[in-house]
Amino acid sequence: MTQRNKPRDAAVFGIDIGKNTFHVVGLDGTGAPIQRATFRRDTLLQFFERAARTVIGMEACPGSQWLARKLKAFGHTVRIVPAKFVKPYVKSNKNDIIDAEAIAEAVTRLTMRFVEIRSPDQVDLQALHRVRDRLVAQRTRVICQMRAFCLEYGIAMHQGAGKFKADLPRVVADKENDLSPAMRRLLTELFDYLKNLEGRIKEVTGEIEDVAAADDTARRLMTVPGIGPLAATALLAAAGRGLQFRKARDMAAWIGLVPREYSTGGKTTLLGISKRGSSYLRRLLIHGARSCLLHLDRSRDRLGSWIDGLQSRMHNNKATVALAAKMARVAWVVITKPGATYERRGPVAT
């Protein structure tokens, strides 16, 4: 390491992360830059191992979680900032060094919001969910493509994946329809591919369910109506211990289930939900809430009268999202309080 790139006594360092090259800017206590340097992956760790223990900031991106864990092991205080919160601090033109300086400035703000540093177990669990989500999306695309091919030959298939899979072998075997030999062969190959996809989806789902069955917090989360193994493990992978949220509503807002606000001049304007955070996690909770509206025994569950009141004054879709937000708030309590579970006690008689 050259003399120029030896660590100085900076109050905060900002790192602009690349695949192989990392740009580092150090600021003193007044916020003035005192060091600018560029490192490769191996020399970056050597630099911060020698540096005095201080605050290090970086943007949330692929690789930031790994680097944060490495730097935290050296004794540094590591803060990961969402990229959209760094952008206002980029001054004038944009390059990697300017980005690193903006990151260093952003992490010093007292009101800045940070991304939680996830454990390897959380990263692994989240990867399982992302693989499953990709496989499910591929299955949907294959079914839609096969359905479109059949329509090109005047064959309209039933809606729904289950009916489609049951009808397709009969359609391919029917010699009286207008399918050409080449299309029959292609549909047979796509159907085999679809069955392989479903087998893989089943395997990944089984892995997720095994994790849920073995984890105490996941088992307690599954006592909440509408939260099953998928939603429970997705919450744990994304939120961890939930201590980064001061209250339950903060977690619902983090998932994007609260109204988006655009208020000015003393006039409050609430719009649709903000849709911030993980769209995958939000989708799981909304699907779970929709299932509750259809199947929950409202005479035996404490949520029954509350759901009845919602549906009496608003559209069913709004009630679904409101229930999903309540599920997120209940989930925060379950995650943050050891031993807490959802109590399905009946409504109090008046």
Q: Are residues 191 and 232 in the same domain?
A: no
pLDDT value at residue 346: 57
Alpha-carbon gap, residue 137 to 278, rounded angstroms:
16
Q: Are residues 224 and 255 in the same domain?
A: yes
pLDDT value at residue 4: 60
| Alpha-carbon distances of 158 from 88, 143, 166, 313, rounded to whole Å | 51, 11, 10, 35
Q: Are residues 32 and 65 in the same domain?
A: yes
Closest residue by Cα to residue 35 from 12, 19, 55, 67: 12
Q: Are residues 140 and 46 in the same domain?
A: no
pLDDT at 148 over 90: yes
**Across all residues in the chain, what is the average pLDDT?**
91
Burial (CB < 10 A; 0-12, 13-18, 19+), residue 184, is middle
- The answer to whether position 348 is within a domain reads no
φ/ψ region of 160 (left if φ > 0, alpha if ψ in -120 to 50, else beta) reads: left
Across the range 33-52, mean pLDDT stands at: 90
- The answer to whether position 347 is within a domain reads no
Q: Are residues 206 and 245 in the same domain?
A: no
Q: Are residues 266 and 325 in the same domain?
A: yes
The gap from C-alpha 92 to its chain's centroid, in whole angstroms, comes to 32
- The answer to whether position 196 is within a domain reads yes
Q: Of 198, 214, 230, which residue is a domain's last?
A: 214
Query: Taking the alpha carbons of 338, 341, 345, 350 in that order, is the dihedral positive or negative?
Result: positive
- The answer to whether position 114 is within a domain reads no
Q: Are residues 68 and 163 in the same domain?
A: no
- The answer to whether position 124 is within a domain reads yes
Alpha-carbon gap, residue 240 to 233, rounded angstroms:
10
Report phi then psi at 272, rounded to 5. -70, 180
Q: Of 63, 79, 106, which residue is a domain's last?
A: 106
Cβ within 8 Å of residue 209, ≥6 positions away: 229
**DSSP β-bridge partners for residue 14:** 25, 57
- The answer to whether position 137 is within a domain reads yes
Q: Are residues 243 and 182 in the same domain?
A: no
101 close to 14: Cβ distance less than 8 angstroms? yes
Residue 203's pLDDT band (cuts 50, 70, 90): very high
* Best-predicted range by mean pLDDT (4-8, 92-96, 146-150, 158-162): 146-150
Q: H helices within the chain, ranges in order?
A: 41-50, 64-73, 83-86, 96-106, 120-151, 161-173, 181-214, 216-221, 229-239, 248-255, 279-295, 304-313, 316-336
- The answer to whether position 311 is within a domain reads yes
Q: Of 106, 130, 152, which residue is a domain's last?
A: 106
pLDDT digits (tens, 9 = 90+) for 109-119: 998 999 999 99
pLDDT value at residue 2: 54
Q: Are residues 36 and 54 in the same domain?
A: yes
Please tell me the number of Cα atoms within 13 Å of 186 on its side-chain side: 13
pLDDT digits (tens, 9 = 90+) for 117-137: 999 999 999 999 999 999 999
Question: What is the share, in percent, of the chain residues with pLDDT greater than 70?
Answer: 97
pLDDT digits (tens, 9 = 90+) for 167-187: 999 999 998 898 999 999 999
Alpha-carbon gap, residue 238 to 328, rounded angstroms:
12
Residue 209's pLDDT band (cuts 50, 70, 90): very high
Q: Are residues 332 and 233 in the same domain?
A: yes
pLDDT value at residue 3: 56
Q: In the chain, how many domains are there?
A: 3
pLDDT at 228 over 90: yes
pLDDT digits (tens, 9 = 90+) for 56-99: 999 999 999 999 999 999 999 999 999 999 999 998 888 999 99
Q: Are residues 87 and 190 in the same domain?
A: no
Alpha-carbon gap, residue 227 to 220, rounded angstroms:
10
Across the range 98-103, mean pLDDT stands at: 93
pLDDT at 23 over 90: yes
pLDDT value at residue 271: 86
- What is the extent of the structural domain holding 309? 216-336
- The answer to whether position 113 is within a domain reads no
Q: Are residues 29 and 51 in the same domain?
A: yes
pLDDT value at residue 289: 95
Across the range 211-221, mean pLDDT stands at: 95
Residue 350's pLDDT band (cuts 50, 70, 90): very low
